[in-house]
Amino acid sequence: MDTIYTGRIFKIVRKFITNNSGKQLERHVVVHPGAVVILPILSDGRIVLIRQQRIAVEENLIELPAGTMEAGEEPITTARRELMEETGYRADELVPALKFYTSPGFVKEEMRLFKATKLTAGPTAMDEDEKIEPLLIDLPQAMSMILSGEIRDAKTIIGLLWYNQQREV
């Protein structure tokens, strides 16, 4: 395995695998340090979503707050930091819910979902390249937004479907 590219957040490595007939195949893998996604739930049941500009898809997407883990950082620490930076909210309760891979066909990125409750509002601390607008939406509306295609971000869909299922159990 050798590194082809190293960027600010991820690197691309070349790996070789052997297929069923014994032939060596070259593959490229994006190696990411991992990330968190936070499902912030207000005391009245509304969910804190954000509308965020995403350069890769050239759209503003509706998402749950999320962010990349820094080197040596515990996932819960990342979750607290990203929740505050992107929404201004602080959570008295932050509970791990799920772990999942974002796109395991070519990206080595594990994402961890945290449920955040007992929220207190405060100022945001967005990165200089972030354009974020908060949205407070109840769960039925969020589920409708998934079905209509208004919410298209995979981590957000996973988090909202998980929460909807937990409430139905």
3-state secondary structure 4-30: EEECCCCEEEEEEEECCCCCEEEEEEE
Report how far residue 42's alpha carbon sits from residue 30's, in angstroms, rounded to the nearest whole number: 35
CA distances for 130 relative to 40, 51, 98, 119, angstroms? 19, 11, 26, 22
Please say if 128 is a catalytic residue: yes
Q: Which residues contact 86 (CB under 8 A, 6 or more apart)?
A: 50, 52, 65, 66, 67, 124, 126, 130, 132
**Active-site annotation holder among 70, 86, 93, 128:** 128
Q: Count Cα neighbours of 160 within 13 Å in the Cβ-side half-sphere.
A: 26
CB 41 within 8 A of CB 23: no
Q: Rounded to 5 degrees, what angle do the CA atoms 160, 137, 142 make? A: 40
Active site residues: 128
